[in-house]
Structure 1
């Protein structure tokens, strides 16, 4: 059976490797593995998001939705060392890597939690998931399909603080513009703040 990075139990044979995330303000060395999202290099959409978003709130509680092995969450942790960062994912292999990467890069303000595909905690999840979150950064798992993606986004966006913002990166050909329209109709006011290399950066704000 073909499995994807958003499979809760990837059966790909483990083959760890390391990659580098180099941005103008930081350099992280990350361990990756098969069965996770973009294990051979930093995904272009993720890079565009990290090169585009404004500095995260310096304090408070920040979220990386669909964190994988941690490049977004750990960038948040490095840029906001006095904030607490939570990364969530359905893939336990990815979460184990993210935890290792946080330790190896001395980013102890980042923690990671396993969730169900609908954003609810698993029986083994002990980390509070309800927030509220002052900011969300995400390269969301568009390929899970609208029937799963839309409830997932609705759940987590409603956990923003009033006035809190989420920044999402979505490929245009995977439905960035239709997602933009859907967010607006669901009471999540959204604007496109950047467009580059076929990707849109969407910013949605929870009404105060």
Structure 2
């Protein structure tokens, strides 16, 4: 069984970081309360160098923030796409990007897994969120070609979580009011620590634009 899947296809070898990151610059990650995170994103209709450059930046920003996935609106761009570098529950690594993602409806009887989930836009908070144990996402690659990516376990959670972002939802929207308040308390307590770690990672990875990591103000 291959240990890495790139854009949904098996790969014999793959570097520690996606090559896109080497061309990218670090962007500021938006936080809960900012408008761009809470409204549906626009369809991508133009495929070309600007889109490819955005994907490069998103990969590097995701690695700096130690995330498994990152949607465009998490770097302030209201377009429907996300990048990912995420293991499944069998330890198989999945790397790629998806443009205009559509998550297939969960089939009847599909098992829901209630496990911890975090978000780079809710820094420091982790809460249990029920998600299906399998996900299928259809979309396009950066050249506009059709793409289908399937995942199980933790990778399925990642695919669902990131597709939610493109529709203007964050995982807090799936929580009861009391749990949402708990998550925001966690964020308030750990946010500075998270930003310090991101800054250190930016230096380690040599990312351009490291000064943009810190938010320009507290989350609303």
Normalising by structure 1, we get a TM-score of 0.32
Greater gyration radius: 2
Compare relative contact order (CA 8 Å, sep 6+) and give the higher one, 1 or 2: 2
- More strand by proportion, 1 or 2? 1
- More helix by proportion, 1 or 2? 2
Normalising by structure 2, we get a TM-score of 0.30
